[in-house]
Every structure is written in structure tokens, then in C-alpha cells.
Amino acid sequence: MAISTGSKIIKTAVFISGTGSNLKSLIKFSKLKKSPISINLIISNNPKSKGLEYANIFKIKKKVFTFKNTTDEKKILFELKKDKIDLICLAGFMKILSKTFIKSFNGKILNIHPSLLPKFKGLNTHERAINNKEKYSGCTVHFVNSKLDSGKIILQKKVKIKKDDT
């Protein structure tokens, strides 16, 4: 499942729903001299996503799809193929992609998830970790498969939960 395009820059699309803090970090990383990626497309399901401002700031193509009907995924796949996108990164994207969509980009979709998977899949991860009296929380980057937050883990970073965290 490794993503490799040799020495070629990996054309990447980032899917967002909110403020775009992870998107901003990915853009900064893509601008480094030795970065293997370029961010070529930003897709959001939320027309009011603050993260879309980064598309303007960094002059990156952006598209908004509301996911109110099933044709949106077909339109997105068309855009991805048209722009020769090699990799998708879900960065705070709050929609579940269909099995058909995932299969069409098999092994080339990554997700940034705000918990130490396999614990706390889905939503409200921090609240659930605190309510469960966990000592640590963190972040996981993993491959996307057809089961929610269950793909092969690439990287995890652990942080201590402090007594006054909310």
C-alpha cells in the first residue's frame, strides 16, 4: 500500500470541512525544497469553510461539493483525474466517502484522525478520551479503507492529557 511515484512530485488534493489548520501545515510542508508533494487541489464539503481562504492565499485551485446527492463523488473523481491527482489527504474532512470512491483511489487516500487509533474512531474523540479518563490522546495518520478509521496506520503522535484539558 505504499505511495510511491519515484522522484516525481506527488500531486495531492486535500479535502477539508473546517478551519484548515491541517491544510495550512500540509501547504507549508509542500513548499519545502525537499517536499515530495504539491498541493494542487482543495476540496471542501462546506462552502463556509475557513480553510478555503488558504486556496486564495496560496493560489491553489478549490472546489466545493455539498454532498447533497450521489453525483458529487463522480464530479470529484472527474476533477481529480482531470488534474492528474496522485494522492488524497483527508484533513478534517467531515464526510464519509463511499466504498466505490475509496476503491477508485485504492491505497492513495490518507486520513488525519485526532485520536490514537484504534481507540476513538469517528467523532468527538477528545471528549471521549477525557470522559474515558485516558492518560494520553494524540493523532493518527492512516490509509483509508472502506471501514471507518480502520486502515493501516502510517504514523501516530501521542500527547499527554492534562487534568485541566477540556
Q: What are phi and psi of 36, to 5 degrees?
A: -85, -5
User: Within 10 A of 159 (CB to CB), how many other CB atoms are there?
Assistant: 11
- C-alpha cell of residue 29: 510542508
What is the three-class DSSP state of 64? strand
Q: What are phi and psi of 158, to 5 degrees?
A: -100, 140
Catalytic residue among 15, 37, 109, 113: 113
Q: Would you call 126 a catalytic residue per the annotation?
A: no
What is the three-class DSSP state of 74? helix
The answer to whether the CB of 19 falls within 8 A of the CB of 92 is yes
Q: Nearest to residue 105, comparing CAs of 85, 91, 122?
A: 85
Catalytic residues: 113
